[in-house]
Structure 1
């Protein structure tokens, strides 16, 4: 992917998220009568600065390092040696505000990120989200196949919650799995019957690596097409003349309805010549192939010697693709629900990371964020807005963690103050600052290490 897409998309993403977060602090502080000295997007040397014309003379700054920002308020604790705050300004100092005002100003930053996510999700639902109906393909020897799922099943509800789209399916599966690994799933089978399946994921480590959750469960979108993505040297596929990019129309007179069905047919015909109908570009080609014999789980099966993958046929796209669109009020409500779902899931995954149930390699840093920003921007506005909402929620949740230096750390101090009746001491705040700095530093090192390993792989 071109850096000409990645870098601007990353800067736009970070710029929006930081501006919204800091504006939350700024707006509430101003409304509650606290004097704001500077509103800065980024750290370091100012690249652009403007001073307001009102009596407060607020400095608005865009600085060189874009990974963050801050709102500097009048505060006696930050008054350097020799400086004096005029007597008439003291009531507007942040440190002199009552507890609820200070808490409201601090909480306003993360709240602004959640409100941004709600607005973005609502906007995408009004504009229309291109998605697919939740019709699944099932792989053999997976939790889904053991539970009795069949290729062509349409998932209609999970633990009683209706499933309207493929996006809903993914979110509800993760959300309900984090409550209990045993899921009650309602389906409509390929022949139109209603059925109940019990998907038990209790023995499956679902978050130990970065592979897709649905794929681990044994489910994927039923695209109906099987394509050849690569051919191994000296294989039956190479000898028959198969090429990467070929699309399988039929094998032995049968049109396979999934990659799994195609593989099953090949495995059952070791040493037997099969007729393949292939679409290569705009042409249909007939090829005879004889699967080679190999041992698999103590059995002799046929092997094509090719990498096969799914692609969506025109018929499947016509049947499954649709646009999920709602009116303004319904879209707004769905934005609230989706933001709540994502927030709870994010918080639970962070908690399970501490217990080891979620691998630390799932932590991402600025490089990965930049790559996803570029990828989503290259897909289109809807994908980029969805990505923006996810990162905004993650930023909001992260800032509410009770870690000194973060907004959640300040809120923790305020809770202690509420209980004991007086603020925590400067010594405690200093120790907390060092602890918070160390924790955030370790998190950044881990995130950058994971980014580096992803690039290397």
Structure 2
């Protein structure tokens, strides 16, 4: 492959990646910004990206909107903050007149500060719902009838008595309309017995199968999921596009967002409990790869990836780890109970621990990405 071809391949990943990450970060910080302004806090800077400023402007309220050289993130700097992580500038705070203090972040009540902080992750979830709603309303949803074609030898389905041409009607009493519905239920039910009702030769037959835990390649890397051991009969007659109105699209989008939240939260919980492997973590290299792949599929697929990534970033930021939004909320919860904030020394130690954790997580995810590339 020539140098120009290599550059084209890299650009084909980087540009979609910057687009996806840019809109996710922008809306996250916009959540902080809007609620901060609503609470009467002055915003000194809104930055998309870190490091030296490429370009920017100052709006009529005195906020510097800037584009940073390093595009991996962003921040909102409120008046009186020492940095974009909302660390208080103690020297500046001590000398502030009361009128100026009222428009600072640290000068707000604990409830207002909590609302400003939680607005970022919530904006990520709202963004996902908006994107999913648009996709369902404009493109509809491809539905594959859950008709069994092939059955894996010695798999859970074979052991349960599934037969070719069985049409799956329900799982544990939940009606399924597509093969995707079946996959989603099965994937989160490894080693859990499930009751299937299938249509077979004009009769309803009840089968009990226990999906087996297997590692499979997903859009973000390897994942341990439940596997039934069946393939759908993906003939043209079994496919159709389901169209939806705006209200139904919103309902489906809300369900889709909750599904991704549940999946991601289950993995994170399993990670901390030692049930999930860290080799499933993906970093910016893998996300860039997937962004490039989705861009080739189409703009809707790229937006779908942005929605999923937005949810993941929202959940990550809610973890009770100092430096992240969840860490701030943890401190505010303690402050609300105690009636006063933790002293600065304890908070500083916590932020250093949080920074170490976040950097370690980024290094581990990047290492996993490089390991996948070498394989």
What is the TM-score when the length of structure 2 is the normalising length?
Answer: 0.89
Structure 1 segments of 4+ aligned residues over 4 angstroms from their partners? 80-84
Residues in 1 aligned to 2:175 and 2:209: alpha-carbon distance in whole angstroms? 16
Matched, 1:345 2:263: yes
Residues in 2 aligned to 1:170 and 1:205: alpha-carbon distance in whole angstroms? 13
SS in 2 for 1:141: coil
Matched, 1:400 2:318: yes
- After TM superposition, the structure 1 stretch with the greater mean CA deviation from structure 2, 75-84 or 349-358, is 75-84
What is the TM-score when the length of structure 1 is the normalising length?
Answer: 0.74
Question: Structure 1 residue 334: deviation in Å?
Answer: 1.2
Residues in 2 aligned to 1:333 and 1:37: alpha-carbon distance in whole angstroms? 38
Residues in 1 aligned to 2:274 and 2:48: alpha-carbon distance in whole angstroms? 35
1:3-51: per-residue Cα shift (whole Å, max 9, x none)?
A: 3321111010000000010000001101111111100001001111111
Contact kept, 8 Å, 1:207 with 1:357, in 2: the verdict is no
Aligned match for 1:110, one of 108, 112, 121:
121
Structure 1 residue aligned with 2:73: 68
SS in 2 for 1:194: strand
Structure 1 residue aligned with 2:16: 9
Question: Structure 1 residue 131: deviation in Å?
Answer: 3.9
Residues in 2 aligned to 1:75 and 1:164: alpha-carbon distance in whole angstroms? 54
Aligned match for 2:309, one of 372, 377, 391:
391
Residues in 1 aligned to 2:223 and 2:34: alpha-carbon distance in whole angstroms? 41
Q: Closer, same or farther in 2 for the Cα pair 1:404/1:211, shift >3 Å? A: closer
Question: Structure 1 residue 221: deviation in Å?
Answer: 2.6
Aligned match for 1:125, one of 116, 136, 141:
136
Structure 1: gaps spanning 5 or more residues: 224-315
Contact kept, 8 Å, 1:207 with 1:359, in 2: the verdict is no
Structure 2 residue aligned with 1:200: 210
Aligned match for 2:51, one of 44, 49, 72:
44
Question: Structure 1 residue 207: deviation in Å?
Answer: 5.2
Pick the structure with greater CA Rg.
Answer: 1
Matched, 1:419 2:342: no
Matched, 1:436 2:346: no
1:132-162: per-residue Cα shift (whole Å, max 9, x none)?
A: 2222332110112111122222222222222
Residues in 2 aligned to 1:211 and 1:151: alpha-carbon distance in whole angstroms? 27
User: Which structure has greater helix proportion?
Assistant: 2
Q: Closer, same or farther in 2 for the Cα pair 1:373/1:358, shift >3 Å? A: same
Residues in 2 aligned to 1:428 and 1:206: alpha-carbon distance in whole angstroms? 43
Residues in 1 aligned to 2:195 and 2:344: alpha-carbon distance in whole angstroms? 53
Aligned match for 1:409, one of 327, 330, 341:
327
1:43-66: per-residue Cα shift (whole Å, max 9, x none)?
A: 0011111111x2x31000110111
Residues in 1 aligned to 2:241 and 2:63: alpha-carbon distance in whole angstroms? 45
Aligned-residue CA RMSD (Å): 2.1
Structure 2 residue aligned with 1:134: 146
Matched, 1:148 2:161: yes
The 5 A counterparts of 1:220-259 are 220-223=231-234
Question: Structure 1 residue 421: deviation in Å?
Answer: 1.4
1:261-295: per-residue Cα shift (whole Å, max 9, x none)?
A: xxxxxxxxxxxxxxxxxxxxxxxxxxxxxxxxxxx
Matched, 1:217 2:228: yes
Q: Closer, same or farther in 2 for the Cα pair 1:167/1:124, shift >3 Å? A: farther
Structure 2 residue aligned with 1:169: 182
Aligned residues: 356
Q: Closer, same or farther in 2 for the Cα pair 1:144/1:217, shift >3 Å? A: same
Structure 1 residue aligned with 2:250: 332
Contact kept, 8 Å, 2:216 with 2:224, in 1: the verdict is no
Structure 2 residue aligned with 1:93: 104
Residues in 2 aligned to 1:377 and 1:212: alpha-carbon distance in whole angstroms? 26
Q: Closer, same or farther in 2 for the Cα pair 1:212/1:411, shift >3 Å? A: closer
Structure 2: gaps spanning 5 or more residues: 1-7, 82-86
1:162-191: per-residue Cα shift (whole Å, max 9, x none)?
A: 22223322222234x17x7222222223x3
Aligned match for 1:157, one of 148, 151, 170:
170
Question: Structure 1 residue 211: deviation in Å?
Answer: 5.9
Residues in 2 aligned to 1:64 and 1:144: alpha-carbon distance in whole angstroms? 53
Residues in 1 aligned to 2:128 and 2:196: alpha-carbon distance in whole angstroms? 29
Residues in 1 aligned to 2:344 and 2:89: alpha-carbon distance in whole angstroms? 14
